Amino acid sequence: MIDKKLLIAKELCPRCGNEFHCSKSGKCWCFEVSISEKSRDEINSQYDTCLCPDCLKYFADKAE
């Protein structure tokens, strides 16, 4: 049996420092956020790990 605790990890956002949950199962909340290719490139150039929902939404809204 798979330990569900291993599939959801607590992360710290590298942009704001807030704690959030990241699903390691392959279907994380972040897949539901639509961002432009330009924003994705900007995120990838500045950060090495995932962003929290608020920060990812900032980049999604910024591109509109």
Name the strand (E) or helix (H) holding 20. strand 19-23
Give CA–CA dist 14/7, Å, rounded. Answer: 20
Residues in the chain with pLDDT values less than 50:
1-2
Residue ranges per domain, the chain?
Answer: 4-62
37, 60 Cβ separation under 8 angstroms: no
Q: What is the pTM of this model?
A: 0.77
45/35 Cα distance (integer angstroms): 15
The enclosing H or E element of 21 equals strand 19-23
- 9 sits in which H/E element: strand 8-12
pLDDT at 32: 87
